[in-house]
Homo-oligomer: A and B are copies of this chain.
Amino acid sequence: MNFVRNAWYVAGWSRDFADDLVARCITDQRLVLFRRSTGDVVALEDRCPHRLLPLSKGNRIGDTIQCGYHGMTFDGAGHCVRVPGQDNLPKSAYVESYPIVERHGIVWIWMGNPDFADPDKIFDLPEFTDPDWHAHLGDALHIKSHYLNVAENLVDPAHVSFVHPTTLGNAASENVPVHVSTAGETILAWRWIRDAPPIGFFQNFGNFSGNVDRWHYYHLHLPSTAVIDFGSSDAALSLAEDDRDQGVRIFAIHFVTPVDADNTIDYWMHIRNTATDDEAASAQMDTMFRKAFSEDVAVLEAIHEAEALPQKRKPIRIAIDKGPNVYRKRIREMVEAEATEYLGDPEAPTFVQHD
């Protein structure tokens, strides 16, 4: 299913985790998460090793989880601390645990080899904490589509004119070419639409009415974090590309978390350099983004369904696909690299059988 596992994914917002057990599925692994009394969030395999009941259906006892079937109990590291009815704790009585790091109100999880879980590799931006900017955590968008469709869409400025004609795009950009840069671990696609009417978003936010210069910079950080730097400025100012801070500038950030082969969660937030003390502005932007993202969902779910049908002809690629093409190639390479990584001696897979 082409999941990169050696990566930090967003497991949720800090506000999602408190005393309750929370079930999540990330890269097709079922997880249970909770916040310990020490304040840190822990993530365990959501499967009692005995009769497979999800631990998330059990009970939290202090900083442990007690299975809801026979009471086997596991601590936050996944170690079994109790097997009712016997004194010894079998070596095989454990659940996997996953590294977690919490930062800026975001809970990150590492789904791969824990030896490689380096917190310095977690995506970060100085604007998260810069007092001249305002960071606002948005919401979690559940999409019935493969995560590569979702992430690809975020390095694809060309769709904006057609999917979001009244919100994030308009006709002025339909034929403006897209520049693409693919150096390093970030793929960047961008374009400027100069001296054109403002899009719906900036008619509402920024109160532009005359022509503007508008930019879209789509940064896709591998495997699946997107930062869309977009904004507008009065066309009369002829803003230089590097002077974007002088316009109304917004970072729309998408943390794309693969759930399984058919489901994805897009944790989205935004950071802005305007109206930084105005919470009503955050709510207004949330509303506009929700409308635009629902337009994406309709397309992404429809193409996911279409991909499941038999195909008589290979899909074609066109000029605007450069970013998505490079992105999929990079993911393929990362997945292949992980497949050859040493992961310990193999254990024969076994399946539950009623035999």
Query: What residues of chain B lie closer than 8 Å to A90, measured between beta carbons?
Result: 316, 318
- The residue that A85 contacts in the complex, of B92, B318, B347, B352, with Cβ under 8 A, is B318
Is the beta-carbon distance between B2 and A69 smaller than 8 angstroms? no
Q: Is B306 in contact with A52, judged by CB distance below 8 angstroms?
A: yes
Shortest CB–CB separation between residue A67 and chain B, in angstroms? Answer: 7
* Complex contacts, A84 vs chain B, CB 8 Å: 158, 161-162, 174-175, 320
Binds B, one of A108-116, A227-235, A297-305: A297-305
Q: Is A70 an interface residue (CB 8 A)?
A: yes
Find the B residue at minimum CB distance from A309.
B30
A148 interface contact, C-beta 8 A: yes
Residue from B177, B316, B320 within 8 A of A92 (CB atoms): B316
A86-B319, A174-B71, A299-B69 known; A306 and B355 CB under 8 Å? no
Q: Return chain B residues, CB-CB under 8 Å to A53.
A: 299, 302-303, 306
How far is B321's CA from A303's CA once the two chains are assembled, in angstroms?
Answer: 44
Neighbour of A67 across the interface among B72, B162, B309, CB < 8 A: B162
* A247 proximal to B (CB < 8 A): no
A interface, over-half SS: loop
A57 to B178, CA, bound (A): 25
A340-355 interface code vs B (CB 8 A; 1 in, 0 out): 0000000101111011
Known interface pairs A84-B161, A175-B85; A49-B310 also in contact (CB < 8 Å) = no
Q: Is A39 an interface residue (CB 8 A)?
A: no
Cβ-defined contact, A354 with B2, below 8 A: yes
Which residues, 148 to 204 on A, are CB-close (under 8 Å) to B? 148, 156, 158-159, 161-163, 174-175, 177-178
Contact B303–A162 (Cβ < 8 Å): no
> 8 interchain pairs (CB within 8 A)?
A49-B316, A70-B320, A84-B162, A84-B174, A85-B178, A148-B354, A307-B352, A312-B347
- Further 12 A-B residue pairs, CB within 8 A, beyond A69-B159, A148-B354, A311-B349: A2-B355, A50-B315, A50-B316, A50-B318, A50-B321, A68-B163, A69-B163, A70-B156, A84-B174, A85-B175, A86-B319, A335-B355
Report which A residues bind B (CB closer than 8 A): 1-2, 30, 47, 49-54, 57, 66-72, 83-86, 90, 92-93, 146, 148, 156, 158-159, 161-163, 174-175, 177-178, 298-299, 302-303, 306-307, 309-321, 328, 332, 335, 347, 349-352, 354-355
